[in-house]
Structure 1
């Protein structure tokens, strides 16, 4: 996507390094960071310099390429996969991308692995861009259909950031909005702030503003009120892991939006590439691991002072403990449909298998 007239992906090669946009500095500073080793890639994933399930997966793939520059042996490959896999537990794209990379690289002689790893990681990045653009096309039809029915601008509520910053380009939940906007469909986005890290207020709003899409940042607890007063036409969110039966793990607070949407008859769609489906799981609430992050993300906030400096301040009563589950699971019964690169499906096993029939061959148990 474009920032001040220049096209960016979220990750690209810069000589023998991997360049990424440092998302911890947005929206107040646009900073590019160079990753030169496996450990720097690990740190970037762990500290959310890069975040979003698809982008985490591609970053891990490039991190593996960086690791194999130093040690392309069988032991080096296995250790790099292990360390990268341990960075964040909820987003399944991480393990999926590393499994794809290992499958490609393990049969090769060690001397051939480093070059092949760069090529394989670049191919994963290109696949992600194509998948996200296709998600955008399919999801834009939902927005255009809503406009055709009402004749007025379509109000879409989203939660967290599932735009191009969460992928390599285009995004998942925001891709349909960009496609609809670019096609001339009037659309307005209600942007949940998404506490505690405020990825909606900081990242989704940054993206939408840069693209010229009308939007309004709202407090996380305002969504239900807006739905009660017919000010939301549809909800569209992303996913970090979706079970084979359609349960969806996404940023904490998504479940509450789905409940409010269900109570008010508002369609609730989830946009995701096929790589985000974990075909081994059937019960998301009980089986999807939920990452617990630092309590300081809850007790402190970072913002821009009137003097132009970025600072972190405490917002909770000193000494009070805080819990910080990073994700929750929305049961499939609350999901209107899953928007994928292959089309839109009901949030059911059969719905997903209809789009991914190759999974019927013994791997969708």
Structure 2
């Protein structure tokens, strides 16, 4: 049986509106630490088996939750769980840093970088580029209806990076003024498609039309080992405005053919030439 405090963490994760897959992976790790602190023996093993269903179900569009649930072994020893959680968190932290190092080499002086939603990996790239002395500006969408872009604007303001916030509807207009596009990912599918905040696909199309290189920043734990683009479940949340129901599918799918490369902690993965 899953302890109530663990279920409470899962519920908090389910209601998260701003932070993405990396943040939720950290919260998932927290849930495992709580399990290890409350259970042992066969009770722990049963709970870990149940978590392999419960954790990915928090947000089926995020591969990080699925991969975390498989990274933790089915064991009756709390110490093993704690050690694996610590290993996962360490890998996560070093991955973000290395993506920043690798991705920052794509940012040149005078660039206008366009992005959509909030991504820890993209923020790491922009921070590292600034540390290297690059002079650039960022165009970011407000990312309605949860306004993740405003959260990113606050982080850029702290760093002293120049930026401009636009409405989502102006993606096509401002993509033509950009020199580089950087977005994060919640999942990279087996066939190389990227699942990310809805609006990513229109941005990729606009960049493709304007000849702007479109890059995705994604830690390797966001690569789903089983799901293909046509098999992804895209989470939808209830939403209404002025009394009318508004469809609110949180994610869309961008085919690999519109992506210049996927920046990972292991290097930049580029699509096959035939695409």
Report the CA distance shift for 1:50/1:263 in structure 2 as closer, same or farther (over 3 A): closer
Aligned pair 1:38/2:6, yes or no? Answer: yes
Residues 44 and 50 in structure 1, CA contact (< 8 A), matched pair in contact too = no
Q: Which segments of 5 or more consecutive residues in structure 2 lack a partner in the other structure?
A: none
Aligned pair 1:75/2:46, yes or no? Answer: yes
**What is the CA-CA distance between 1:349 and the residue it aligns to?**
11
In the other structure, the counterpart of 1:66 is 34
Report the CA distance shift for 1:65/1:81 in structure 2 as closer, same or farther (over 3 A): farther
In the other structure, the counterpart of 2:164 is 216
**What is the CA-CA distance between 1:322 and the residue it aligns to?**
1.6
- Going by fraction, where is helix more abundant, 1 or 2? 2
2:233 to 261, 265, 289: 289
Aligned pair 1:197/2:122, yes or no? Answer: no
User: What's the CA shift string for 1:41-77, capped at 9, x where partnerless?
Assistant: 1022101077311222232122022123333322222
Residues 18 and 147 in structure 2, CA contact (< 8 A), matched pair in contact too = no
Residues 64 and 81 in structure 1, CA contact (< 8 A), matched pair in contact too = no
Question: CA–CA distance in 1 between the matches of 2:36 and 2:98?
Answer: 32
Residues 45 and 59 in structure 1, CA contact (< 8 A), matched pair in contact too = yes
Question: CA–CA distance in 2 between the matches of 1:325 and 1:238?
Answer: 17
In the other structure, the counterpart of 1:133 is 97
After superposition, residues 332-351 of structure 1 pair within 5 angstroms as 332-348=256-272
Report the CA distance shift for 1:281/1:77 in structure 2 as closer, same or farther (over 3 A): closer
Question: CA–CA distance in 2 between the matches of 1:159 and 1:176?
Answer: 14
SS at match of 1:157: strand
In the other structure, the counterpart of 2:201 is 255
When normalised by structure 1's length, the TM-score is 0.70
Aligned pair 1:278/2:224, yes or no? Answer: yes
SS at match of 1:339: strand
Q: Which segments of 5 or more consecutive residues in structure 1 lack a partner in the other structure?
A: 1-35, 148-152, 164-171, 300-315, 352-365
After superposition, residues 183-194 of structure 1 pair within 5 angstroms as 183-194=132-143
Report the more deviating stretch, 218-227 or 340-349.
340-349
SS at match of 1:215: strand
**What is the CA-CA distance between 1:350 and the residue it aligns to?**
11
| CA RMSD in angstroms, aligned pairs only | 2.1
> Number of paired residues?
269
Report the CA distance shift for 1:133/1:252 in structure 2 as closer, same or farther (over 3 A): same
In the other structure, the counterpart of 1:238 is 184
When normalised by structure 2's length, the TM-score is 0.91
In the other structure, the counterpart of 1:56 is 24
Structure number with greater CO (CA < 8 Å, separation at least 6) is 2
Higher CA-based Rg: 1
